[in-house]
Chain A
Amino acid sequence: DVKVTQSSRYLVKRTGEKVFLECVQDMDHENMFWYRQDPGLGLRLIYFSYDVKMKEKGDIPEGYSVSREKKERFSLILESASTNQTSMYLCASSETDRGAKNIQYFGAGTRLSVL
C-alpha cells in the first residue's frame, strides 16, 4: 500500500513563527501536493510539485512556500504564521504514468493551530 506520512498530527504555533510541515511518501511518486481544508470550503490546493526542485502554485499560495529537495519529501513552509492559517493541512502524492489514473494518495493530515 502507498504510504504518505505527515510528520505531526497536531501542531500549535504562535503568530509570527516559522512553521515547517513535512510530508514523506514511500512509493516513488513524481507528484506531491499540499492542501488545506477548512469547514465549508472543502480542500484547496496550496502548492504542488511534479519533480524534485520543481513547484507550481495552486489556488491559495499566498503566505506559503514549499521545498522539494528529494523525490520522497515535500515540505510546506509558513514563513510567518498567522491566525488565519489555522487549518487542517493535507499532503498527497500521485504518479504521472498514464495508467495511474491521476489518483492521489493522502496522508492523515496535520491540524495546525496558530495562536
Chain B
Amino acid sequence: LAKTTQPISMDSYEGQEVNITCSHNNIATNDYITWYQQFPSQGPRFIIQGYKTKVTNEVASLFIPADRKSSTLSLPRVSLSDTAVYYCLVGVISGNTPLVFGKGTRLSVIA
C-alpha cells in the first residue's frame, strides 16, 4: 500500500482558503486518492476522491498533478466548523481491501 505523508497540523483564519498537501511517492497505477474529515468526538467521514487532475464537490476540491505523487485538498473560505482532522488515503477502490489511515492533518480555524 502506498504510504502517505501530510503535515501534522495547520492553522488558518476564518475566510481563508486552506490547502493541505499529501505526498504519496509510490502510488500505484490502480490507486485512487481519498480524503476523509473527522470532527472531534465523531468518526471520520468521506469528503472527496480522485484519480487525476481536479475533482470538485460541494465541500472541497482535490488537485492531483500529472505524476500523481502528491495531491492537494483545497477548502475554500474556511469557517470555525471546518476545524477537524483531515486524512489522505491512497489505494485501490474496488473490492474489500481496506485503505490505510495515517495520522492525518489537524486543521485549526481561528476567528
Q: Which residues of A contact B (CB under 8 A)?
A: 4, 30-31, 33, 35, 40-45, 48, 50, 58, 90-92, 94, 96, 98, 100-109
Contact = CB atoms under 8 A, between A and B. Distances in A.
B46 A104 contact: yes
Interface stretch (B17-25, B58-66, B72-80, B88-96): B88-96
Interface residues of B, number: 24
Contacts of B92: 102
A100 B95 CA distance: 9
Contacts of A43: 44, 87, 101
Given A101-B49, A106-B44, A108-B41, A42 B98 contact: no
B43 A107 contact: yes
Interface string B80-108: 00000001000111111111111110000
